[in-house]
A and B are shown apart, each in its own frame.
Chain A
Amino acid sequence: GAVVSQHPSRVICKSGTSVKIECRSLDFQATTMFWYRQFPKKSLMLMATSNEGSKATYEQGVEKDKFLINHASLTLSTLTVTSAHPEDSSFYICSAHSQPEVTDTQYFGPGTRLTVL
């Protein structure tokens, strides 16, 4: 299957700082990527759809000014958590859609564990 990477895998930051998380599709081009967050023992919650060359589409209840998404190329999307607070601590996972796939499969990155102190 297609490979998606995320960087960093873990990050610890102080409250009030901003953190950038990268999501890359390594062996395919992805015009659309998705960002999810997951709390312990909870399921994935879709945050936003990242579209290459255009603005991201945010799900209801997700603050677009707090979670900045930039999809600068066909292989890279970034999520920046601005002015992070302890309640933003979570597991952030991206996924990318591989165009040739008939079943519209999304391939997930390994996730980024964010801890805000």
Chain B
Amino acid sequence: GQNIDQPTEMTATEGAIVQINCTYQTSGFNGLFWYQQHAGEAPTFLSYNVLDGLEEKGRFSSFLSRSKGYSYLLLKELQMKDSASYLCAVKRGSTLGRLYFGRGTQLTVWP
């Protein structure tokens, strides 16, 4: 099985930086995804890490340490529209592997 853990809720103010952590324990690890999901909508892809290190994409960055089973999503220059649930998902298996999601972190950005 897999055990994916991330905080349930976080709050921050506009313009600030927030880091959302995700730890996982799984067999057949083959990459980690971060998705953003607004209430009642489908998740949208943010980032993908398969090798150790930091991937930067605009205001969002994602880090992975495979040896520690740890990832984080870093959001800079927060905007109100960033209020959403952020889902950490682990891919297991082959190229078309299945995704297993954490319960999500509900981020609220205050003005």
Contacts and interface: CB of A to CB of B under 8 A. Distances in A.
A106 B99 contact: yes
Nearest to B47: A103
B42 A111 contact: yes
- Residue with the greatest number of chain A CB neighbours at <10 A, chosen from B33, B43, B101: B43
A contact residues, range: 20 to 34
B48 A105 contact: yes
Interface residues of B, number: 24
B45 A107 contact: yes
Contacts of A93: 42-43
Interface string A1-37: 1001000000000000000000000000001101010
Interface in B87-106: 87, 89, 91, 95-104, 106
B41 A110 contact: yes
A53 B95 CA distance: 19
Interface in A34-56: 34, 36, 41-46, 49
Contacts of B99: 34, 44, 46, 95, 106
B103 A97 contact: no
Contacts of A32: 96
B101 A43 contact: yes
A43 B102 contact: yes
B50 to A, nearest CB: 8
B48 A97 contact: no
B29 to A, nearest CB: 13
B108 to A, nearest CB: 13
A16 B87 CA distance: 33
A108 B42 contact: yes
29 contacts: A1-B45, A4-B42, A31-B96, A32-B96, A34-B98, A34-B99, A42-B104, A43-B101, A43-B104, A44-B43, A44-B87, A44-B89, A44-B99, A45-B101, A46-B98, A46-B99, A46-B100, A49-B98, A59-B98, A93-B43, A104-B31, A104-B95, A104-B96, A104-B97, A106-B45, A106-B99, A108-B35, A108-B43, A111-B41
